[in-house]
Amino acid sequence: MVSASPAVTDTGDAVYVAELDAVRSFTAAGEARWRTAIPPIDDLPGRVAGLAIDSRGRLVVSGPRSRLTWLDSATGAVVKAIDHAGDYFVTAPTLGKDDTVYVGGLSGMRAYSKDGDLLWTAFPSVEAFGVSPVAIAPDGDLVASAFSIDTPNPNSDHPSLFRVGADGSARWTQAFPQVNVGNSARTPVVGSDGTIWLARFVPHPLVDFKLFAYDANGAEAATKDFQKIIDAEVATTSDGDVVVSHLDGTTRLRRDATEVWRSGHGGWIAAALDGAGTTIVSDGGVRGLSNGEERWFVPLKSSIEHVSIAADGSLILVCRTPNELIAVR
């Protein structure tokens, strides 16, 4: 089960990176292999939303806008391209069993076979205007957040969290209060024990940022207040803990939201975890934390958008200011 990202690596350490309207491939040494343009369906602007690589070695590319494309990872040749019909955009893809492709978008959650055939479409039980990227639970169920824009006030929304079976059948929907900040629910993350983690704003008494834990039935199990934090990303560990990288630092929590450690180092990107359990954060460069203590630091002037970890343990950094691809060993 693979979640997509702006950059992915394969077992041969080739690197694949999403551009605005193309995908590039590089060797582990940084040498260019190929570039394939992914044009949008129409003339309206868009960008590649994400990449994933399936068990056959094919790249699954979502975007620009409503396009889904399968590429041969060796040559960059287009194997198949389809229009996510009726949608304005699609999210980054998530790959499940048998290389099934799951995407969110304005038209709900959709599942496609590895050959690009539409299998089903699912929505939460409340009105939804858009669905997040999809997370896969240990039992194969699918979880996503959704939001419905309030018509009189386009800056507010009605966020929700919902779960469906692998066949698209509804399990449950958890609706949340309206929040006047727009798109207030982030992409959910599912831990190894099935706990669902969702960072979202709450409206009372102030608009605060909180991390919520839900059990497999959608019941709230724990919550952690990150007051004064305006954005956050989360990653789960193999033992069921969660790591939150936020503007005030980085925090590791147990599944009941009790704090294990807190570091003053943090940033905008998700807290990536390497094979040794080191937490990787963006903070004036790229930094490795162990038990909240700094192990190493590589200063960079570039603005890091995403961190991928190659098979050899190298860090592949996608930077947007300026546009760079950086490998750190």
Q: Tokens at residue 283, please?
A: 């903070």
Q: How far lies 96's CA from each of 23, 135, 141, 177, 285, in Å?
A: 22, 10, 10, 31, 33
Per-residue pLDDT tens over the stretch 18-40? 888 889 998 878 889 999 998 77
In degrees, rounded to 5, the angle at the alpha carbon of residue 143 between the alpha carbons of residues 230 and 196 is: 60
DSSP-H helix ranges across the chain: none
Q: Which amino acid, 217?
A: N
pLDDT score at 176: 76
- Which H or E run includes 287? strand 285-290
pLDDT score at 107: 79
> What backbone phi and psi angles, to 5 degrees, belong to 87?
-115, 155
pTM: 0.86
pLDDT > 70 fraction of the chain, expressed in percent and rounded: 77
Query: What mean pLDDT do residues 173-199 have?
Result: 75
Cα 257 to Cα 287: distance, rounded to the nearest angstrom: 24
Q: Is residue 98 very low, low, confident or very high in pLDDT (cuts 50, 70, 90)?
A: very high
> In the Cβ-directed half-sphere of 39, how many Cα atoms lie within 13 Å?
3
Q: Compute how many other C-beta atoms are within 10 angstroms of the C-beta atom of residue 151.
A: 8
133 cis-preceded (ω within 30 degrees of 0): no
pLDDT score at 117: 93
* CATH classification for the domain delimited by 1-103, as one of 3.40.630.10, 2.70.98.90, 2.40.128.630, 2.60.40.1220: 2.40.128.630
DSSP string, 90-143: B---EE-GGG-EEE-BTT-EEEE-TTS-EEEEE--SS--SEEPPPEE-TTS-EE
**Cα-based torsion angle of the residue sequence 131, 135, 141, 146 in order, rounded to the nearest 10 degrees:** -20
DSSP string, 29-57: TS-EEEEEE---SSSS-----EEEE-TTS
pLDDT score at 110: 92
Query: What mean pLDDT do residues 97-102 have?
Result: 94
Q: Compute how many other C-beta atoms are within 10 angstroms of the C-beta atom of residue 314.
A: 17
Query: What mean pLDDT do residues 297-311 have?
Result: 77
> What backbone phi and psi angles, to 5 degrees, belong to 151?
-60, -45
